[in-house]
Structure 1
Amino acid sequence: MAQQEVVEGFKFEQRHGKERVRVARVWKTRQGQHFVVEWRVGITLFSDCVNSYLRDDNSDIVATDTMKNTEMFACGCVKVYAKAKECSDILSAEDFAILLAKHFVSFYKKVTGAIVNIVEKPWERVIVDGQPHEHGFKLGSEKHTTEAIVQKSGSLQLTSGIEGLSVLKTTQSGFVNFIRDKYTALPDTRERMLATEVTALWRYSYESQYSLPQKPLYFTEKYQEVKKVLADTFFGPPNGGVYSPSVQNTLYLMAKATLNRFPDIAYVSLKMPNLHFLPVNISNKDGPIVKFEDDVYLPTDEPHGSIQASLSRLWSKL
């Protein structure tokens, strides 16, 4: 998106923005039920403001403080308090990111494009006495991420993701028949624990703001559905599970299942470190002192194997 310009005999490319702006939004229904989101927002603007770099002229710059105030109070509009009241409907992180990006490219003449990144904290409604609490929430684990790239022409790139999805299974995993040389110490095993912390990104196929689904909270529901497909593929059926011959194979099956399940997703990228659980071995020169049978392990996360790959449809531009 960034455009290169030739200035004073050099190639020049610039952008500016605001990072780590935190905002919480509460919606209250007439029935007394509350909904809450907490977002960490970052904005990057591409604009025609070369003069602010080359000389004493800031007349084309949107101040980063303005970006912060727009995020926190205006839901994509500058008139702070009045426009905040207009955000009466619950928004997904994706919809909020698109609103903000669309605001900057439409409101400011010099801005040609905007990138809005959001990380959503996982506040989950608590259950008390078997019932969902009206206004009580607890902090979950994995985080919902999104990035919206909007250009003045109306073109859109929308990416969602998950950070910190920690999953583990105590059996149905192995690793055998890999390359061996004089430095190889790892034995073959068809029985091991498998643990990882999934970082996932998926790009939607919508290329303009006008082609987006109009269903409220569509992307929030899609996030939950993608997370379920990833986890279900990792674990397999509740009785017996599914065997994993490697983290690589499991990663591929998770990405493939996502593309097969959701036709409006064009691209999936997964990063899955192999967090090792090492069988404990207590022995002396005469042999094992205690015999363990796949029941006691030493958890380690450093160093760990790093496995990542992406999968996209043949027609995808990525």
Structure 2
Amino acid sequence: MAKELDGYNFEQRHGKSRVRVARVWQSKDGRHSMVEWNINISLLSDCLASYVRDDNSDIVATDTMKNTVYAKAKECSKELSVEEFAILLGKHFTSYYPQVTSAMVKIVEKPWERVHIDGQPHNHGFKLGSEKHTTEAIVQKSGVLQLTSGIEGLALLKTTKSGFEGFIRDKYTALPETRERMLATEVTALWRYPYESILSIPQKPLFNERYLDVKKVLMDTFFGPPKEGVYSPSVQSTLFHMEKAVLSRFPDISGIQLQMPNIHFLPINLSSKENGTIVKFEDDVYLPTDEPHGSIQAKLTRFWSKM
């Protein structure tokens, strides 16, 4: 919240970034579970004196924020989701410190996955996966809550059933129209939960399950049925159908935003003046590229959503 100061508007916040913590839980039968989180904390607080009067008496030290992460992780004797831990931290900072009015907690969960040996889940063995589970909880002192979750780095590719036709052509257009191309992207997804206060969260929230559910719906919509697939006339069309599928399936999600870069695989055609065609492309050999790439994003929300 801005304050007027010597004829200016002044806004401030402070926090601790890249606080990394791993937490291991052990069940009675000896089975271990673990998470690794990268946590960013930002506090809105009434500590104007530290800026203008050299008075630090109202500041929550950022080192204290870091230590709080470790202490709260220790207190969590039962396994919990990244969303629950973000809310727990936000609730602590806004209730424990009178001068803190709002806490923003962003967490990225590193994708450690349980390994299977001879078809059996290992009790304490894990391997690093790919896409990451993210969340942001904004908690106000009044208990008002904004909760967003997401996916980072969901790399998807299909080798056919994709095209791009009928787009604007002008003197700068070199891209040929096609009904047969490779489609690849790396999805970044954010979705908003409808809970407006800490008290409105279900007693046993299923955030981890909902994360896996959303990821499955996004992938199922992108790829289509396993045998015949589904045709994509553009990244834009596929993105919209992915978002619509999530909102149609999950009433506890009020809005979703997707970023889907079009990562190009360029057809290889080799020719020379002397030898003519050396290699002719037949939907089989491509040059993978990272940049430049198309950038497509959109947000789909319910009418009442505040996303």
Query: TM over 0.5: same fold?
Result: yes
Equivalent positions of 1:158-169 (< 5 A) are 158-169=147-158
Distance 1:87 1:143 in 2: 22
SS of residue in 2 equivalent to 1:20 = strand
Aligned pair 1:9/2:7, yes or no?
yes
Aligned to 1:81: none
Distance 1:209 1:260 in 2: 25
**Residue 74 of structure 1: how far off its partner (Å):** 2.3
Aligned pair 1:137/2:126, yes or no?
yes
Distance 1:72 1:191 in 2: 52
Contact 2:24 2:32 in 1 (8 A): yes
Distance 1:193 1:105 in 2: 49
Aligned pair 1:276/2:264, yes or no?
yes
236, 248, 255: which is aligned to 2:236? 248
Aligned to 2:40: 42
Equivalent positions of 1:133-282 (< 5 A) are 133-215=122-204, 218-282=206-270
Paired residue type of 1:248: Q
**Residue 215 of structure 1: how far off its partner (Å):** 1.9
Aligned to 2:78: 89
Residues 249-306 of structure 1: per-residue CA shift (max 9 Å, x gap): 0000001111111101111010000000011001123632222310110000110000
Equivalent positions of 1:63-74 (< 5 A) are 63-74=61-72
Residues 112-157 of structure 1: per-residue CA shift (max 9 Å, x gap): 0000000000000000011000000000000000000000011000
Aligned to 1:118: 107
Aligned to 1:55: 53
Structure 2: which 5+ residue stretches go unaligned?
Answer: none
Structure 1: which 5+ residue stretches go unaligned?
Answer: 76-83
SS of residue in 1 equivalent to 2:254 = strand
Paired residue type of 1:266: S
- TM-score normalised by the chain length of structure 1: 0.95
**Mean CA deviation greater in 282-291 or 29-38:** 282-291
**Residue 56 of structure 1: how far off its partner (Å):** 1.6
**Residue 70 of structure 1: how far off its partner (Å):** 0.2
Paired residue type of 1:272: M
**Mean CA deviation greater in 253-262 or 282-291:** 282-291
Which contiguous aligned blocks of 4+ residues in structure 1 show a shift greater than 4 angstroms?
none
- TM-score normalised by the chain length of structure 2: 0.98
Paired residue type of 1:59: S
Q: Aligned pair count?
A: 306
Distance 1:165 1:317 in 2: 25
Q: CA RMSD in A?
A: 0.9
305, 308, 315: which is aligned to 2:294? 305
Aligned pair 1:101/2:79, yes or no?
no
SS of residue in 2 equivalent to 1:232 = helix
Aligned to 1:295: 284
SS of residue in 2 equivalent to 1:188 = coil
Distance 2:248 2:18 in 1: 35
SS of residue in 2 equivalent to 1:192 = coil
